[in-house]
Every structure is written in C-alpha cells, then in structure tokens.
Structure 1
C-alpha cells in the first residue's frame, strides 16, 4: 500500500546572472526529474540565511562564479506531486525568489557541488539563449527579463 505523499514547501533563490560572456546556465543531473535540461543557478535557502546570500553561495557551488546581486526580479511558484531526488513521493510546493546578478570576472564554469542536482554549467551567449533546452520556469524568466538585464549590463560596461 502506498502512503500519502510527504507535504513539503521549499523556499529557494535563483539568479539570472549576466557577464560579457552571456547568461549563466546550469544543467540538471540524473538526481532530478529533468536530467539534461538547463536552468538558472540557485537553490534552497538555509534556515536563517539571507536569500541574496543564498544566491551567491549557490552560484559559486554550481558554477564557480563570484557575482554581485543587482536587483530583485520576480517570484515563481510551482506545485506538483512526484518523486524527490531521494526517491520519496512528495506533495511539493516550490517558491522561488529570482534575482538579477552580474559577474564582472567570468571564468570557465566548474561545478563544486559534485554529486548534487547540478551536472554541468556554462555561459550561454545572448544570441544562443533560445537554442538551449531550458526548463519551463527558466525559459519563462528569460523571456520576461533577459533582454532588460542584458541591456542594463551592456550600458553599465560602456558608461
């Protein structure tokens, strides 16, 4: 007999990170329901942690980049019932705080949190954003915000 799903709500923070190299992307690992798909870097907020600090920590763990938060962009909320990375069936509610950030010294991305939910990371040039297999939430955020965030970054560099 299958029991009731574990009810779980997760507050997380993510960033649309831009640099002279484009937009920072992270690939989901086999521990997720969407392996091989791409998203924005970020993750769960630890108890007592400031969401902006979460983004900086998660971006470094998932990509090796040091960033500066520039503004709060959006909130996303999703609900589903399914298997967690540990195999537990969850009634899951995700609340994501989305920030804009810039990386003034972009390097080749490297995943420090090996064995987690991030398989790889990369910079995606602005002209290739539409070519990436983004998860739906990231695709929606990029469609809504990437043009303005990239334009603001470019203006700042030329000023």
Structure 2
C-alpha cells in the first residue's frame, strides 16, 4: 500500500460571532464547508502557508495571532490505477485576524465560495471534520495543542 503524507496549515478566523469558511466541491457532486487553508509547498514555512492560503481562498489578508494546535487524520483512499493509498494529514491550526483585503471567492482553486457563517449555524452545515477540530482548539485552547473531540 502506498503511503502519502500531507502537511497543511489552516486558519480559524472569528469575527462578530461568525466564522470565516470556504466551500469545497467534493467528488460526489456535493459541497462541504471547511476552514481556509491548505497544503504547504516544498520549503514553505507553515506560517507563510496559512497567510498565502487564506489570501488565495478568501481575498483577505490575515495576521496570525496564535498557534491553536495540531490536528492529525489518517484514512485510506483509492489512488491512480485503483491502488489503495494510506493518507496521513497533519494540519497546523492557527488563529487569524482579518487585517485587510475584500471577501471574494477563489478562482480556479479547490474552493468555490468564501463566506462568514454564524458560529451557532456551523454545526448544521455539511462540513469536514477539521472544522469541528479547529473550533474545539479555538474554544478550549488546550495547553498541549490537541483538542478532545466527542467520540474520539
């Protein structure tokens, strides 16, 4: 089985009771919501990754106000030629504060919509697990940088 490691950086940006989110179309034609962010480029620092990714996906410039923690996920998928791939995602989750720019949707990227969502409504949205992990890190601020999620 092929192994694939991906390191990424994401931002939790909360303003006036709303969370900055991005929508991602998935393979079954549905869309799910996530946090702005994405994969590191070779040689890139994760701090620079989150600044770049938020700007690309939302149009906003952000200031990183802290490292909330790290989320790790492992799952298997089918790769090219039908081979099974053991994927491991390591995601650094930062707190961000919008400092400039204007909200816009990404063009030609992995997301198709950027929007502020009411924190109270997030649990009702179709979303990736990283959203819940990021919000848990933001709310709990665990000293070890790892949130305890229900059912984990």
Q: TM-score, normalised by structure 1?
A: 0.75
Alpha-carbon distance, 1:99 to partner: 0.2
Contact 1:19 1:104 survives alignment (8 Å): no
1:19-39 C-alpha deviation (Å, 9 max, x unpaired): 347211011123x57941111
Alpha-carbon distance, 1:90 to partner: 2.0
1:104-144 C-alpha deviation (Å, 9 max, x unpaired): 346333214x1x32122111133433332221221232144
Alignment of 1:52 with 2:41, yes or no, is no
Q: Which runs of 5+ in 2 are unaligned?
A: 142-152
Alignment match, 2:133: 140
Alignment match, 1:76: 71
Q: How many residues align?
A: 141
Alpha carbons of structure 1 residues 84 and 33: separation in structure 2 relative to 1, 3 Å: farther
Alignment match, 1:17: 13
Residue 128 (structure 1) aligned to one of 121, 125, 128: 121
Residue 104 (structure 1) aligned to one of 87, 99, 107: 99
CA RMSD of aligned residues (A): 2.8
Contact 1:21 1:123 survives alignment (8 Å): no
What secondary structure does 2:47 align onto? helix
Residue 27 (structure 1) aligned to one of 16, 23, 29: 23
**CA separation in 1, counterparts of 2:31 and 2:68?**
26
